[in-house]
Amino acid sequence: MRELLSVGMDGPNVNFKFMELLQAEHAELYGGGKIISVGSCGLHMLHNAMKAGFSVWHLDKPLHALHFLFHNVPTRREDYTTVIGSSSFPLAFCGHRWVENVPVAERAIEVWPALKVYVNAAEKKKVPTPSTASYDTLVAALKDPFIPAKLHFFLAVARSFNPFLTKFQTDEPVFSFLARELSELLMELLSKPGCEVGELSVLAFKKECLQGLVKVVVKLQDKSPLKYPLVRQVECLDPRKMHRDPDWCVSQMKRIVQEFLHCKQLAGGIPAGNNIVVIIQQFTSLVYQEARGEDFHSFQPWKERVGFSTNKEVKTCNLLEESLESLRLICDKVSNCVGVLHDLLASVSSARSQYRLYLEQERKKRQSAAHILKRKAAKEELVELRRHPKVLQEVCVILECDANKLAEEAEEEAGSKMAELITKSNSLRRRYKEKKEELVQMDNTIQDKAVQLRHLP
């Protein structure tokens, strides 16, 4: 079994751990044979290098804040459009694909002056002031006069990576050009010009730019495939190099064959003579013959494609690494289950109508519950009202009896005593009449409430 492996399944640390375990299992199965490694996925390496280089400025915080300030907030977007007169909003920043945030940075530079106008309007109470952490982050960022310069510098570095990524995101055999292109990329980064100014603050900004570039280069060197000898040696398959320096190509081809022999990936030795054509034909015929499907397992080092990356499909702002890995596992499992995928697609296609149906059902449930509560409250109120007439009726009877009794006593008396008793009797009769009227009103109220209860759904 002959293998040339560049792991590109996940982040570099996960890939290297996988490579270590795979090497141990491969050596156990094939008598000490080794898989020849040429590094981890180049996309992750470049994204992480950008992240390491620009961590000194924490550009991700204002870029995240710009997007979340207006994301899914229609009233705030309307306020912004009214104040600015433009509907161009910041784009979403992706924290695990830094190189692909070029459009995000470009849009941020475009809307930065407008955001200053919006914040000024909010501070002057012309529009509501957002009470969110995103707004506070944006206000703090607006106080930094170098944010546009930092974004331009970020764009300059990120755009340097784009041609390299585009060229090597292919299934074509471009591995032999990797070392040269990657070396030229590093040299381009190291030769980026600084700004010639004299002010202390701008000089400090220049120093930070240089520090950021140094961190990018250090990260690239630490994780770059250039540290693997095979990556540098395989440049001998570059036709331009063959034409310019055939002797060097012969020497590098010898080292490649020796490396394959050392790792027990080839049997035999180097053919007699130093005919580079014979060596290259034998090596390349072996590679491409077995790469067509016999027993050679080749994994291109730049495996992920722009626009077709699994990570890009499942990415979400503020997504934790553990969550991203879980989503990757779910996507891989679903992709292997065609029936499940078909069912999911069918379910998703009607998701909106199902969601509307669910909302309608919930609305009806809430209305039904409200009607039940209302009817229950009306019944309880009617029961309570029906108790009052009995009490009023008893009070009327007592008042009437007391008034008649006092009137009878007054007939037996004379003078002031008779007048006093007649006054008390008349007072009780007035109260009796009031209670009678109150009883009539209560009966009318009960009838009205009973009618309302009958008409309740």
59 and 82 fall within a common domain: yes
Domain carrying residue 234: 2-40+228-318
Residue 191's pLDDT is: 62
Backbone angles phi, psi at 258, to 5 degrees: -60, -40
Looking at 318, 344, 363, the residue that finishes a domain is: 318
Residue 286 is assigned to a structural domain of this protein? yes
How many distinct structural domains can be found in the chain? 3
Looking at 179, 198, 226, the residue that finishes a domain is: 226
Neighbouring residues of 424: CB distance < 8 A, sequence distance ≥ 6:
406
Residue 339 is assigned to a structural domain of this protein? no
76 and 175 fall within a common domain: yes
Six-digit token pair at 242? Answer: 């063959």
Coil/strand/helix, residue 80: helix
Residue 264's pLDDT is: 73
Residue 334 is assigned to a structural domain of this protein? no
Residue 410 is assigned to a structural domain of this protein? yes
Coil/strand/helix, residue 86: coil
Residue 406 is assigned to a structural domain of this protein? yes
Residue 217 is assigned to a structural domain of this protein? yes
335-372 b/e (C-beta count within 10 Å ≥ 16 → b): eeeeeeeeeeeeeeeeeeeeeeeeeeeeeeeeeeeeee
283 and 197 fall within a common domain: no
Is 122 in contact with 130 (CB distance < 8 Å)? Answer: yes
Is 275 in contact with 262 (CB distance < 8 Å)? Answer: no
Residue 10's pLDDT is: 54
Residue 293's pLDDT is: 42
Coil/strand/helix, residue 95: coil
Residue 318's pLDDT is: 52
Helix H segments across 320-350? 321-336, 338-349
Is 12 in contact with 303 (CB distance < 8 Å)? Answer: no
Residue ranges, the chain, pLDDT below 50: 1-9, 193-198, 270-277, 279-280, 283-284, 286-311, 313-315
215 and 265 fall within a common domain: no
61 and 203 fall within a common domain: yes
Q: How far apart are CA 135 and CA 129, in angstroms?
A: 9
Backbone CA torsion sign across 193, 195, 200, 201? negative
* Encoded amino acid at 20, one letter: E
Residue 88 is assigned to a structural domain of this protein? yes
Residue 87's pLDDT is: 82
Helix H segments across 263-320? 276-291, 310-314
Residue 313's pLDDT is: 46
206 and 129 fall within a common domain: yes
Q: What is the DSSP letter of 126?
A: S
- Tens-place pLDDT, residues 152-190: 888 888 887 777 777 777 777 777 777 777 777 777 766
311 and 428 fall within a common domain: no
Residue 200's pLDDT is: 53
73 and 196 fall within a common domain: yes
Residue 430's pLDDT is: 87
Residue 355 is assigned to a structural domain of this protein? no
Residue 12's pLDDT is: 65
76 and 205 fall within a common domain: yes
Looking at 256, 291, 318, the residue that finishes a domain is: 318
63 and 198 fall within a common domain: yes
What residues are paired with 40 via a beta bridge?
7
125 and 241 fall within a common domain: no
247 and 391 fall within a common domain: no
